[in-house]
Every structure is written in structure tokens, then in C-alpha cells.
Structure 1
């Protein structure tokens, strides 16, 4: 059996590749540049792109199961995959796919509705094929903290608004582990799993955990929302992104915001989810960089 992993070099996709290789599976990785993909030994890289349908037949030849990256939505890839003989899809979706539709005009609500429509749209494409499916819906990823890498390397400082704001950030390894189980067993057919970390972890706590992982003090410097917006715009963020980010953080100061912790990972694996502290340890080298 050949399993195709799309998005194979991403934070989660690469972990899916590793998990399948560790399970002794034949893995094909769909990548744009096989030379730079740096995949494990034995993985078959294939050059293909969701924007280039002419590349899909080579990627899909003799494939029976697919780990499906969100960029497939609306491209026609799902339909062609089913026609080529794919029998099972495990969809890399998002927690927003399970949210109720909303016409709230706030920047955050508009963003979440866009997320809901995009990810649920891909799920519906897969369901419409009549093939086997599982939807894996991670919440906010701990890997978002990699956005602090440059500043932590240079200054050992995190500058953000709302230091007490936080979400139950999920380790990419937890998401990949569930995806691998759904690809390899029949235990998860027809399920939609929302996966989070074990508990809310504030931004100030995230900075402290990264500091502990790299054995250096990482200061948290709290900005006002206006200061943060100015900084993000200077960093190249579009204004609408800056607006919904501020609302996202403000919504989770006194509680878990739009996404409370779930027990999904523990219910599936029998183990508690990996903590943010564990994630920071696993990514210490990213934050050390040349400053190590």
C-alpha cells in the first residue's frame, strides 16, 4: 500500500511522514522541490503542486490513502484522487471547521468564518467522493510561537499585547500521531477530531517555557494593543490580520477564548497531550540559532 502525504515538509506533514516510515509503510511525499525536501530514507519524493493539475497523475499513481493538506480545497485534486483510486482521505483541517456559521462583523469573527468555510469546504469535498475519511482538526498550534524566533535569538525578549492571554496550544506531534492512526487503522473512519493541548498557556508562560528550554531568561514585554498593531504593521502584517490577532488575544485573557481544551488526544491514545513546555524543549534549537 502506498500512502501519499501532501504538505509533507510542513510542521505536521513531516511528522506524519516520520510516523508512517516508523510504521514500515511505503510513503510518497508530494513536494514542490524534491532536492530540498530533506525527507527520511526510503520516502519517495514526487514533484507536484495543487496549482498544477498536470503534475497530479504522477503523485497519485497506485496511491490508496492520502494525508490531505488544506491547500487542496477547490482545486479539483480531491475528485481526481478519488478517480485515480484513492480509497481513504485523512484531512488536515482546523478546529474552525466545527464552529457554527456566524455573521458577526468583528474582525475575529470574520476571520474564523473564513477559516470555517475553507476547511469545512475541503471536508465536504472529501465526503462527497464517497470514500473513507477522517477529519483531523487541530486548534491553535504551539508552532505559532516560532514567529518569535528572531527576536528571542537576538534579544531574549517577546513583545506582545495581553500577556495573560492564551490558548490550549497543541504540539504538532500530537496532531500527526492522530493522523497516522487514522491512515493506518479503521478505528477512526467517519470521525472529526478537534485536537488541542492539555491546558491554556498564557503568552507570558510561553516565553518562560522557551527560556527554560534554552536555559536563558526570556523576558516578556507587554505592549498595548496600539503598540502591538504598529509593530505588526511594521513587520509586514496586513491591517486586517493585525486587527483579528488583537481580538483573538483579547478574547482569551480571562478564559480559553473560542477554543477550550479538548480530551480528544488522550481519548484516542490513552496518554495526555504534550505540554507547551515539551514543545519548547523539542524546538530549543530553533530559538538558540546562532546565539547558541
Structure 2
């Protein structure tokens, strides 16, 4: 059985679907199982990754683990999960990290949190694989409201480019690492097929939606305030803004062949992702 943490997010949910399609038995953790809305074939258990007792219970009868944790608690949660995995005799653990963790010059919060988590993974005594995507295509969903209301995308760092990847392709690599041999001790950096700026992503979305969309670059301070206005804590808002600023650096624009090499299928384009999510950007969307 495979335990999937972070099961209700974009990557975790896609991974569950792919594992079920491959005939794997899946258990998922959720802090709120009643509202997880996962497939009926998934065994959903209540577990907060900061709770060692709940996490250890979730490991029973499991032989492989997908570790996905987020936010400032990444170091703590990864340490709890990896200790429980070692005590349970887990045969294989795959951690979803951040592409920026591989940039030695990156000292901003998110790669720093993930480096601490990776260290727990490496030293737990459990065979491990680390997956590092550079950026998610699904982050464009944050623009859906302004596209529906104003036909515009407001974002900072307009000249920055990131080789964003479809979460389903991240999940496909994780599935390979969980279900096939030869990945122990490997670190896989993942990207989509092309580095795109926010303006270029806006143009693609407009073409897919059949609408003329406008990209408006905003000051970082304005973008940070918008995040805070959505109720995001200050520490996390600052981490998000620091991550956004890295789009200006060359590291995040490098295209990697990892997805095609490991899965045998080229990574999806941003246009394909946009077409699959078009309903969420239309003015009639809920």
C-alpha cells in the first residue's frame, strides 16, 4: 500500500488518480477526512503531519510513502514523517521538494524549509527519492478572479521566466519513483517544456479562452499586500514573494528533460494545461 500525504492538493490528487489507474492500493492522510472528497477506493485517515501518533498510525501496513508538506512547518512535518517511516520499515519514500532547493544561492524561506526537510529524508535510513519542480502551471489559477472580472492579469516581475510544469507531470514522475526500481538516492529536477513570463502565460490563456487579456505588471509591494488581503500570514506572504522574485534569475528558466526521460511522455505545455482548466477562467465559472 502507498501512503499519500498532501492528498487533496493538485499534485497529491493527480498522483492518487494515477496510482489507482495502475492498480495500486492507496491510503491518504487528511486533517479533515469527511471533506477530503477523494475517490471511494482510497482509504482516508485523519492525520496532522505534526502529530507523531497520528502519523505513525497512518503508516501501518504501508510500504511506500509520498511526502508532501507545505509552509513554515515543512522541517517539522518532514522530520515527523521520516521518523515514522523509519520506525515502520517503509521500503521507499518520495519527497516533493522545490526546484529552488537545488540552487546553492537560494537563501529565501521556501528552499530553506525544503532543505531542512530533505535533510530529514536523507538521514532517516529509508530509501528515498527527491522530486524538485521549478514552478507549477496551476499557480496561474490565482489569476482566475481578475481574468473573469477584468480580463486582466496583475502580477509582479513581468520580465521573469519560469519553466512551469503541469502538476500531473510531477505526479507522473512521483508515480514512477514509487512503483519502479532504480530511483533510490536520486534527486530529480522537473520542468515543463518552455520557460514563460507572466505576460506570455497571459497571452496563452487569452488564446485558449478566445479573449483579449491584458497583462499589467504591479509593484512587488502591491502584490504582497494582495496576498495579505487574502488572509495569508505575513511569514508565508513574504516567502511567496521571495519565491516569485526568483523568476528573474536564470536557474528557474532552465528546461529539463526529466519528465520525458522517466515517464516516456513529454511534459504537457502550458497551452494544454490552460485548455484543460479553461472553465475556471471563464466569466461564467462559479
Aligned equivalent of 1:89: 93
**Structure 1 residues 153-162 or 70-79, which shifts more?**
70-79
Aligned equivalent of 2:41: 42
For the 8 Å contact 2:5–2:66, the answer to whether it is kept is: yes
How many Å apart are 1:184 and its aligned residue? 0.4
| Distance of 1:13 and 1:182 partners within structure 2 | 14
| Distance of 2:100 and 2:244 partners within structure 1 | 18
For the 8 Å contact 1:3–1:63, the answer to whether it is kept is: yes
Aligned equivalent of 2:246: 248
What is the TM-score of this pair, normalised by structure 1?
A: 0.86
Query: Is residue 262 from structure 1 mapped to residue 256 from structure 2 by the alignment?
Result: yes
How many Å apart are 1:248 and its aligned residue? 3.0
How many Å apart are 1:259 and its aligned residue? 4.3
Query: Is residue 173 from structure 1 mapped to residue 168 from structure 2 by the alignment?
Result: yes
How many Å apart are 1:38 and its aligned residue? 1.1
| Distance of 2:168 and 2:99 partners within structure 1 | 16
**Structure 1 residues 160-169 or 139-148, which shifts more?**
160-169
Cα pair distance change 1:190/1:241, threshold 3 Å:
closer
| Distance of 1:73 and 1:243 partners within structure 2 | 20
For the 8 Å contact 1:233–1:242, the answer to whether it is kept is: no
Give the 5 Å matches for 1:95-106: 95-100=99-104, 102=105
Cα pair distance change 1:34/1:242, threshold 3 Å:
closer
Match of 2:76 among 54, 74, 77: 74
How many Å apart are 1:60 and its aligned residue? 1.0
Match of 1:221 among 195, 216, 222: 216
Aligned equivalent of 1:189: 184
Structure 1, residues 231-270: CA drift from partner, whole Å, max 9, x if none?
5314417474586367434x25xxx454411111122123
SS of 1:70 mapped into structure 2: coil
Structure 1, residues 7-34: CA drift from partner, whole Å, max 9, x if none?
0001101111111000001100101111
For the 8 Å contact 1:138–1:196, the answer to whether it is kept is: yes
Aligned equivalent of 1:135: 130
Structure 1, residues 94-128: CA drift from partner, whole Å, max 9, x if none?
1122222x4xxxxxx541xx333322222221222
Unaligned ranges ≥5, structure 2: none
| Distance of 2:84 and 2:179 partners within structure 1 | 22
For the 8 Å contact 1:133–1:190, the answer to whether it is kept is: yes
Match of 2:268 among 253, 267, 274: 274
Structure 1, residues 63-110: CA drift from partner, whole Å, max 9, x if none?
11000113553342211221022111011111122222x4xxxxxx54
Cα pair distance change 1:123/1:7, threshold 3 Å:
same
Aligned equivalent of 1:62: 61
